[in-house]
Structure 1
């Protein structure tokens, strides 16, 4: 972590530094492993046969829309929910049969930050130190490190409810790592936090990973995926794909991507999706991203060049389409669409389209 952080137990292995590039993937000891992990609530399947392996000191982003199954997965890995099927181990302990051992070896931070607003910063740290059974001789040093990390020196005796979002966020992280867990689960920890504080928070995550802490962090912010060693994309309870940011950006989308501006974005998307040569269209801010088929008979550039005229026939003015490099959000949208088509085909009894 830093020179000011408390010493590690003598039995701890030397920390493995985080690779300089998020895409670098050295061989790692497996710390979090799931096989067919499933959670059902009645007839609803929240997590569906999830297979995932996370190595020591790795930062893995768990990316997906609200309701995708991210929080449910993390709660199972924290041994707070019992899986309906499948298995998972965390730090070598089984989440179903050894829940107490799992919880002793993890730090957990929810999007609500899990702090007590009517307690001071110092009192929150003391409370969590007791919950995590931090040895009395180490509490003072651990608290001083957490206070410095959160940047709240001089505010130790302020009520938590008086802190700005970024300070609350970093204090919650400090509380979650008081017992020096080898694994850290962060459930949408940057939700509702200003961009500058989000960036500083990610710097802290990488600092922890550099000391060998394994981090699984869920988020629906696609830009945050760039900070991760690997990204696990999940939707409707199913793991769609896992890879580094560069690997996912290189995912074959089955066509070429173009961007164009136009009025009546919603109407334009609906019309474009009816065109045979258009695989998909989606709104990105004040622009449209259009995935166009690229075949030998009709090159994608020719199809794209004809789109403004087709939209004009419907009374929609549009700019000239420009080819663009797919971003992670483009990849996610297309992979989800592809997965949904495959799932529908399975339910209909056919193969994947």
Structure 2
């Protein structure tokens, strides 16, 4: 049985002065879903998430979040949302317990002490409860920030590039926690630039310059780009990209480690062009399944910042 909708909006718009930041956004997100937002820096993905969660009020559009009207009840929506910013925003000269107690006081929570101790325990922070927040490493600051987001038992969690600047183990542990919260029925909206994190989301949206270009599961987004991809390998790849891009049937050339991924939508023309081009070289070509990163590079290539158009 499909989980109920937590977010159901259409025609959402937001302007800041003359800049049209979000354009006719339409989206549905189900309870317990981890929904990822990707796109270039400054493309409107964070603003889109804030509009969905009541942290900003749309200029126009319609729909609901947590059963409340996104235009008229944003203040009520906001009280049921946990928001974790990209930069650590708690107080570094307070201990972990003091930080959480301060947040509990801001929310007017009853039984603050019990709530703080529970939050510390759930995120594995009890042993550090009296440590100053400013002395924590990036991964532990991330856990503290998440504990603060969850203190008031939100139904919806907003994470803005939450793992930027933390080590791979901390990132993995963080995502295990996010999936635990999802399994408990908490809906999560997360913006990220990491493809491995995007693949951990149940569904994704790609936003470029205020416009939703694609949404769905990772597999649906890859399939939607209709790409055929070949991997080029061997010695002498350096400097080859411009010549490959000029070939008939080539839509995308991207470097992946010591190989090149060459993609196009006309599979036969692409294969023939690459075979002719590589015939006089010692380079090898092999077909491969297009990756999510191939799809997003293609989407990014097809979009353009209107300020630089």
Is this a same-fold pair by TM over 0.5? yes
Match for residue 101 of structure 1?
Answer: 76
- Provide, for residues 226-268 of structure 1, a one-character-per-residue CA deviation record: whole Å limited to 9, x for no partner: 11111111112111111112323333424x2012246564x42
Match for residue 73 of structure 1?
Answer: 48
Shift of 1:115: 1.3
Match status 1:49 vs 2:13: no
Secondary structure of the 1:179 match is coil
Between the aligned partners of 2:257 and 2:21, the Cα distance in structure 1 is: 30
Match for residue 245 of structure 1?
Answer: 218
Number of aligned residue pairs? 305
- Contact 2:248/2:273, CA 8 A, preserved across alignment: no
Shift of 1:216: 0.6
Alignment of 1:164-203 (within 5 A): 164-203=137-176
Shift of 1:88: 4.5
Secondary structure of the 2:15 match is strand
Match for residue 215 of structure 1?
Answer: 188
Shift of 1:302: 3.3
Shift of 1:280: 1.9
Between the aligned partners of 1:203 and 1:81, the Cα distance in structure 2 is: 29
Between the aligned partners of 1:329 and 1:58, the Cα distance in structure 2 is: 22
Shift of 1:338: 4.4
- Provide, for residues 186-216 of structure 1, a one-character-per-residue CA deviation record: whole Å limited to 9, x for no partner: 1111111111111111111111111111111
> Which ranges of structure 1 fall in alignment gaps of 5 or more residues?
1-25, 313-317, 348-353
Match for residue 259 of structure 1?
Answer: 231
Give the superposed CA RMSD.
Answer: 2.3
Shift of 1:119: 1.1
Secondary structure of the 2:274 match is helix
* TM-score, scaled relative to structure 2: 0.90
* TM-score, scaled relative to structure 1: 0.80
Alignment of 1:306-325 (within 5 A): 306-308=276-278, 319-325=283-289
Alignment of 1:1-353 (within 5 A): 26-135=1-110, 137=111, 139-254=112-227, 256-261=228-233, 263=236, 265=238, 267-292=239-264, 294=266, 298=268, 300-308=270-278, 319-338=283-302
- Contact 1:78/1:108, CA 8 A, preserved across alignment: no
Shift of 1:309: 5.1
Between the aligned partners of 2:200 and 2:146, the Cα distance in structure 1 is: 17
Between the aligned partners of 2:93 and 2:8, the Cα distance in structure 1 is: 38
Shift of 1:299: 5.3
Secondary structure of the 1:306 match is helix
- Contact 1:260/1:287, CA 8 A, preserved across alignment: yes
Between the aligned partners of 2:240 and 2:17, the Cα distance in structure 1 is: 40
